[in-house]
Amino acid sequence: MEWLDFLRLPREWMWVQSVVAVSAAILFALAAHWLTVRLVLRAGRRDRRDARHSIIARVRRPLQWLYVTVAVSFVSRALPMSGDVRDMWERLLGFAFPALMGWFAVGVLDAVRLAVDLNTDITVEDNLAARRRRTRVAILGRIGSFFIAFLTICLMLLSVPGIRTIGVTLMASAGIAGLVVGAAAQPALKNLIAGIQMAFTEPIRLDDVVIMDGEWGRIEEIRLTFVVIKLWDERRLVVPVSKFLESSFQNWTRETSQLLGSVIWYFDPATDIARLRTIVGRAVEASARWDRRFWNCQVIDVAADAIQVRGLMTAKDASTAFDLRCEVREAVLAAVRAEMPEALPRRRVTMAEEAMTAAAQAA
């Protein structure tokens, strides 16, 4: 049975046998780990080797410790140990093995997320599919990490006889454990469930342009229970996940990043509209920010002393649309001031005597 008996050492030197056996197991595990990593890195295309290095880096350390633990656990069965020492050793393995498996599983999820990030480019104009893929993987990855951590703790508790009942209870019913926590845990559980729902309904995605509570910004990060919005002035707005499912908000890039921007001017009622439309069109077409899809200029309202003119123009995304609107607004005002100053709004006042004289002459 004892495959280590080939050393034939005296009983007082049995510790040397144990040290040699454990050292050999560790060296074998490290060699197997090194070979596994090398084979994975050499597999596939050469131009993707840097990406594979980044992905393997997420799981290399937990995988190395897992190899060592399995090898030492296998060798320890043949080592001469007293009953108390063997019980302590088995309890240590009962703690270490689930912890390493959980560490490795979380590393695998992180590697999958990194692989998706490396293979999806959200800097292109049409990045809807890439943002959808990144968002779903990020949310599901965090949900998976939560449940892996929960299961790991349960398995570690099962290895301790004194608190094994706690581990069994946690594994049997997470709902009962949640009820024991009480009302304080309800917001966290609510946001956790909302995060799971968001992964499939996708009301928002990474890099979406949204308006939440009157603040304009981009979705910078989606966590398990909250979302971070990067506002236009570099501030960060942290919003609970459940709010995106319970409250209304504006999502400017839900289906596409392209937007239609508008600019409002006020001019004199006597303004030559055709000439003004030419000025607006010239300003839009001269801008490199216009995506060449559509522009328009219309009078949308008339007041006693001014008309309201609206210009519409398209751009590839929200940031470009904002800059385009500012550029066209300034260009049109400058052109009107230089070419047709009579179009600028003015207030007309008629004196009473002049009005009576004009009425008499008309009679």
Q: How far is CA 190 from CA 112, 181, 185, 225, in A?
A: 27, 14, 9, 8
Checking phi first, is residue 246 left (phi over 0); if not, alpha (psi -120 to 50) or beta? alpha
**Averaged over 5-10, what is the pLDDT?**
51
* Residue partners of 143: CB distance under 8 A and separation at least 6: 192, 195, 196, 199, 224
Which pLDDT score, from 0 to 100, does residue 219 have?
92
Q: How confident is the model at residue 6 (pLDDT cuts 50, 70, 90)?
A: very low
- Mean pLDDT is lowest, of 119-123, 226-230, 295-299, 329-333, for 119-123
pLDDT digit string, tens, across residues 200-251? 788 888 888 999 998 999 999 888 788 999 998 999 999 988 888 888 999 9
Can you list the alpha helix ranges (DSSP code H) found in 173-240? 174-181, 186-201
pLDDT digit string, tens, across residues 39-90? 877 775 555 556 677 778 888 888 888 888 888 888 777 666 666 667 777 7
Phi, psi of 220 (to 5 degrees): -95, -35
Is the pTM of the predicted complex or chain greater than 0.85?
no
Burial class (CB in 10 A: 0-12, 13-18, 19+), 191: buried
β-pair partners for 216: 211
pLDDT digit string, tens, across residues 135-173? 888 888 888 888 898 888 888 877 766 665 655 565 555
For residue 73, which amino acid is it?
A: S
